[in-house]
Every structure is written in structure tokens, then in C-alpha cells.
Amino acid sequence: MTKKERYSAFVDYFLESFPEPETELRYNNPFELLVAVVLSAQCTDVRINKVTPALFEKFPTAEFMATASFDELFELIRSVSYPNNKSKHLMGLSKMIMEDFGGEVPVKHEDLQKLPGVGRKTANVIVSVLYNQPAMAVDTHVFRVSKRLGLVTQTAKTPLEVEKQLVKNIPKEHIHKAHHWLILHGRYVCLARKPKCEECKITHFCRYFEKNTGIRNQN
């Protein structure tokens, strides 16, 4: 199976089976999504969704959160990973949004990365989810699944290398969806320690399955 055929099979399958994927983080506006994504770093979406209702009830916008104290935020997010740093990030990004961006979450990738706690991956998530821009956020699921499927080379050692290969080969109009396809497949089927190959519907183009079973993929 060629690289082009593998990518085509990947896109065709998910367009048919999961045409409108969405993030599992719960939010009501762009600011809430930004906060949820920042909090989700090295933490599960399930945990974040338990924390954010109370947080957003008290601080639903950057204007409200910019007035919050460290102790107020820490108390509300103390059960997530790295609550000290994330409390500082939320304070900082809220104030910057108010002072530099008129109270609105920036639209441009480079502006988003100016915010405290927002790196390339977080910025990719925001522009992809909110604006359907062709950005590929590479988390541990995307990194693992894209390699197992054979969409990217095993020599890709960094998230940026994986991102570049995926963006190059996935049709531009589907990149924002492919981000979710890879994450959700990794979260529920292609698990890190014990992938559920017996339940997987895409073994027919999976390099990992071919390698571990000896069953050659067919075009």
C-alpha cells in the first residue's frame, strides 16, 4: 500500500463513519474553550469537564477571570495537573486578552501563542476547533496513532515533524477533522499499552497491525 493510498483509506473511512467529529471538552464560547484546552495539558478531558462548570460559572469570560486571584482559581482547579502553573496561566492570559486583544480570543495562530500557557499545540487546537483552519495539534494520541497507521514515518521524532507530515498529506479541507479522528481513535481503540486491534475497523490499512499479525494490507 502506498502512502497516498493509505491516506486516502484513512480519510475515506472516517468521512464515512465519523463525518463531524468534535472535541470532547465542554465549552460555551471561545474563551471557555481556550481555558479548557490550557487546563487539559497532561490531564484528561474527563477531569477537565468535571472542573470547568464551577470555574465557568464564576469566571465565564476573560473580563471576569482577569479579576480573579490566584487563590480563587487554584481552589477551583486544584484537582487538575499542575494547578499552580495553570492558575498563573489563566490569570495571565485573561489579563492579556483584555489588555491586548479587546477582550476577545485572538484568531491568529501567532497571537494565540503570545498568551501565557499557550504553545503551538494549544493554538492549533483553538484555530482548528473554532475556525476550521487546517491546523493539526499533535498530542500523544495523534503522535502514536499516526505512526502506527503508517501515516507518518517512524523517523519523525517530534510533534512538529509529525504535524508537518500529516498536514502535507491530508487534504486541506479535512485537516481540522483529522485532528479529532486521530485523537478519538487513540483514546478509545488504539490504546497506548494494549491497542484493541480485534475491535478496530481500520486494520486493513494499519502498518502496526500488518507488522504484528503478518497479514498484509490490501489496496
Q: Is 45 a catalytic residue?
A: no
Write the DSSP assignment of 130-163 as a string of letters: HH--S-----HHHHHHHHHHTSS-TT--SHHHHH
Catalytic residue, chosen from 86, 121, 147, 177, is 121
Tell me the angle at which helices 120-131 and 159-169 cross, rounded to the nearest 10 degrees.
Answer: 30
CB contact at 8 A, 105 and 31: yes
Buried b or exposed e, range 39-63, using 16+ CB within 10 angstroms? bbbebebeebeebbeebbeebebbe
Catalytic residue, chosen from 139, 196, 201, 211, is 139
Q: Is 139 a catalytic residue?
A: yes
Question: Count of residues for the chain?
Answer: 219
- List active site positions: 121, 139
